[in-house]
């Protein structure tokens, strides 16, 4: 219903989903909070972050299921959000342990042979798990999914680029509890 229809009391009345089938509502029902509208709103409490103690070395998992995108009609409100550029490629996780690099799909399948050059370039990194997207770029530098598929079918993994956007695990430390901005800073370093 439109806001005008609700205000005019037109259309179906709301379902009493919280009260069961016994309660009935009028189509023009308005909910009022128990809050005193004349009282000033209290400022939200300031929560200070507790200093994190360095955790002991954790065993590096074989695979970490990725957090996937969700479609929304508009960005969420507030300043606690970041955005990523949408890259048209394959979401891949690079796991490096003792100089051995493995590329896994978002379902956890081992595609190291398909992305052999990308995996080889990761062998020099210290033990870590990286999250990113493997893409092929066109002549203008834009991601080209058809070129990615062609490179894979022709075994040209050297033509591909791995855009890394998250550092999930590094040198015996699970970084997932850290804020994304902190993980990005560590990734950049």
- Cα-Cα-Cα-Cα dihedral sign, residues 114, 109, 171, 135: positive
Query: Is residue 21 among the annotated active site residues?
Result: no
Q: In this structure, what token pair is assigned to residue 81?
A: 């959000």
Q: Chain centroid to CA 12: how far?
A: 38
Pairing of β 128-135 and β 161-170:
antiparallel
The strand order across the sheet containing 161-170 reads 100-105, 90-97, 128-135, 161-170, 173-174
Q: Catalytic residue, from 70, 86, 107, 188: name it.
A: 86
Active site residues: 86
């Amino acid at each position: 219903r439109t806001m005008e229809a609700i205000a005019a009391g037109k259309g179906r009345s709301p379902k009493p989903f919280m009260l069961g089938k016994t309660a009935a509502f009028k189509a023009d029902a308005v909910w009022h909070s128990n809050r005193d509208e004349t009282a000033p709103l209290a400022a939200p409490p300031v929560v200070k972050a507790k200093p994190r103690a360095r955790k002991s070395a954790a065993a590096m998992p074989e695979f970490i299921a990725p957090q996937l995108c969700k479609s929304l009609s508009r960005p969420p409100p507030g300043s606690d959000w970041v955005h990523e550029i949408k890259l048209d490629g394959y979401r891949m996780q690079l796991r490096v342990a003792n100089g051995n690099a493995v590329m896994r799909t978002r379902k956890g399948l081992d595609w190291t042979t398909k992305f052999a050059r990308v995996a080889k370039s990761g062998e020099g990194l210290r033990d870590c798990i990286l999250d990113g997207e493997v893409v092929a770029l066109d002549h203008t530098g834009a991601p080209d999914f058809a070129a990615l598929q062609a490179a894979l079918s022709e075994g040209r993994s050297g033509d591909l680029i791995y855009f890394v956007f998250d550092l999930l695990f590094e040198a015996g430390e699970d970084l997932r509890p850290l804020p994304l901005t902190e993980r990005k800073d560590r990734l950049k370093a």
